[in-house]
Amino acid sequence: MKKRLKVKNDLIFQKLFGRQDSKDSLVSLINSVLQFDEERKVEDVNVIEQQEELPVDISKVENQGKVDVVAKTKDGQSINVQLQIINRFNTDKKVLYNWSRLFCEGLDMGQANKTISINFLDFDFIESDNYHTVFHLTEDTNNHCKFTDLLEIHFIELSKFRKAKPDINRPLERWLLFIEPTSAEVLEMITYRDPGISKAEKLLESLSVDEEVLKLYELREKALSEEESKFSGAREEGKKEGIIEGLYLVARNMINAGMDIHTIKKVTGLKAEEIIALQTSMQNNNQPQAPQPPFNQFNQF
C-alpha cells in the first residue's frame, strides 16, 4: 500500500487547492472556514494560479512573501489561504503583509473589495483555547462597532485542534481531519460525507504516484525537518538564557542582602568567579546590573 502524502507540506497543499481544476475542493474548504449561511455561501471562485517558476533549490523553506493559494469570488472578494508549519516568530507580520498585498492589488484596479485571510497554523499562536479565531477591525470599547468590513483574518491552529474531540458533522472539522494524519476508517467516513474532500483525496492519490512530485515532496519534507530542528534548538537556547538571567538576578539580590559567596554559590549554582565578577560589576555601576549571560544565540531570531 502506497504511503499517503502529507497534506501539511506546502508544495502538496498548493497543488491540492491552488489550481483551477481543484477549485471545488477549495470552495468547500473556504465555506467550512467562513461558516456563512446558505444565502451567503461562496458558490464559485477563480483560482489565481501561481505563475512563478519553482526555485532551483526547492529545499529552501523560507519564502516570506509567498501566498500559497489565492482566489477571487464572483462578487470581487479576495481570499488567500496560507499553511504555516513552522513558527518563525513573524506570523503576525507575514499575515498582514499578504493581506495588504492582495488588498492593494484591488486598489490598483480601482476597487476596494473585502479581503479575507485564512491561515492554517501547526503551532499555538493566538492566546485563546479555541482552535479557530476570527479578527476584524473594531472599536476598542464596542466590538459590535466595526471600522470596516474589508478586513477579515482567520486562524486555524492545528495544534489546538489535535487536543479536541472532532465532530465529523462539522464541515471544518472534517477538513481538518483530512489535513491531519488520520486513520483509513475516518478518511473513508469524511470522504463519503463531503464531495470536496473526496475530490481532494483522489487528487492526493494521483500526486503520490507522480515521480516528479514525489522528488520535490521529499526535498521539502527534509527541508522542513531541518528548519524545525533549527528553531527548536533556538527555543531551547532561549530557555537556557532565561534561566541564567534568573540565576544572576537571584545572585544580585543575595549580594545586596550581604550574603557570602559560598551561600550564593550553593543557592544559584553559579561559579565563584562568576559571582565575584557580578560583585565587581555592581560596585562599578551606580545602578547594579547583572552581566549578560553567555547564551546569546537566540537573540538573532
Residue 198, judged by CB atoms within 10 A of its CB (0-12, 13-18, 19+), counts as middle
Cβ atoms 12, 155 nearer than 8 A: no
Give the pLDDT confidence score for residue 67 in this predicted structure.
57
CA-CA distances (angstroms) from residue 236 to 62, 230, 243, 297?
21, 10, 11, 10
Q: What is the pLDDT of residues 219-250, one digit of tens each?
A: 989 888 888 777 665 555 555 566 677 778 88
Q: Across the strands, what pairs with 146?
A: 138
Residue-level pLDDT at 239: 53
Indicate the residue type of 49: E
Distance CA(144)–CA(141), nearest Å, equals: 9
> Could you read off the pLDDT of 173-205 as tens digits, one per residue?
999 999 998 899 999 999 999 999 999 999 999
> Which residue, among 53, 17, 22, 54, has the nearest Cα to 219 in the 3D structure?
54
Do residues 94 and 117 lie in contact, with contact meaning Cβ atoms separated by under 8 Å?
Answer: no
Other C-beta atoms closer than 10 Å to the C-beta of 118 total: 21
**Residues 70/48, Cβ–Cβ less than 8 Å:** yes
Retrieve residue 278's grid coordinates. Answer: 557580578
Contact 174, 32 (CB under 8 A): yes
Dihedral of CA atoms 240, 243, 247, 252 in degrees, nearest 10, equals 100
Going from the first residue of the chain to its last (301 residues), give the mean pLDDT of each consecutive group of 10, the final group possibly shorter: 86 93 96 92 88 50 61 92 88 92 86 94 94 96 93 97 95 97 94 96 95 92 82 58 75 85 81 87 66 45 38
Q: What is the C-alpha to C-alpha distance for residues 127 and 224, in angstroms, rounded to an integer?
A: 25
Contacts (Cβ under 8 Å, ≥6 apart) of 233: none
